[in-house]
Amino acid sequence: MGSLIIDLIVEGRGHIIGNNDSTKSANDISSTSIATARSGTISSPKDPRFKIEYQFDGVAIESTDIFAAYLESLATVAQFDNETTADAMNMYSQNRHCEISINGFPGESEFVWGHIINALLMIWEQLFIDFRRGRKQRCEGITFLIEYKGKYIGEGLVILNGQGRTPASR
């Protein structure tokens, strides 16, 4: 797993398709990009067939709660082989204020733990925090769909716990 994290930070960052439906380089953070977009699509820099369609919900979450939930999530998924079929992952920050939930769609044998890791890292790096660009962290709830090879294989959310939300719908 360590090399996956290093690769995502060091290598190119793919493309971002924001709510204005124009493709922009991930290096171009403008007023129509993820810094302000309510929804859009991001793609993996390693495999452009792996995409996440996202929608921010506007509900603020403390950055420390998101970070704590992410640490719990990454520690959990690191226990599994990337190619092993996955069902679901549901984790919370230590104070249970932030919930991260990711699940595969029933019958999708292509949904593996490696997809969960990729989704977590892409959302963290490309949507929540972009430390290399110096833009402000975006700490609010998000729902998302995971697409691979043109097919929806899973869904998830990062929310302020107690919001009663369900993951994105197909």
Write down the pTM of the prediction.
Answer: 0.71
CA distance 7 to 138: 23
For the record, the structure tokens of 27 come out as 């290096």
pLDDT tens sequence across 39-91: 889 999 899 999 999 998 888 888 889 889 999 999 999 999 999 988 889 99
Query: Among 14, 3, 2, 1, which residue's Cα sits nearest to residue 130?
Result: 14
User: How far is it, in rounded angstroms, from Cα 44 to Cα 13?
Assistant: 7
Residue 163: the pLDDT is 58
pLDDT value of position 31: 31
Whole-number Å distance between alpha carbons of 21 and 58: 20
pLDDT digits 0-9 by tens, 107-148? 767 899 999 999 999 988 888 766 555 556 668 888 999 999
Residues 6+ apart with CB under 8 A from 144: 52, 53, 54, 55, 119, 123, 155, 156, 157, 167, 168
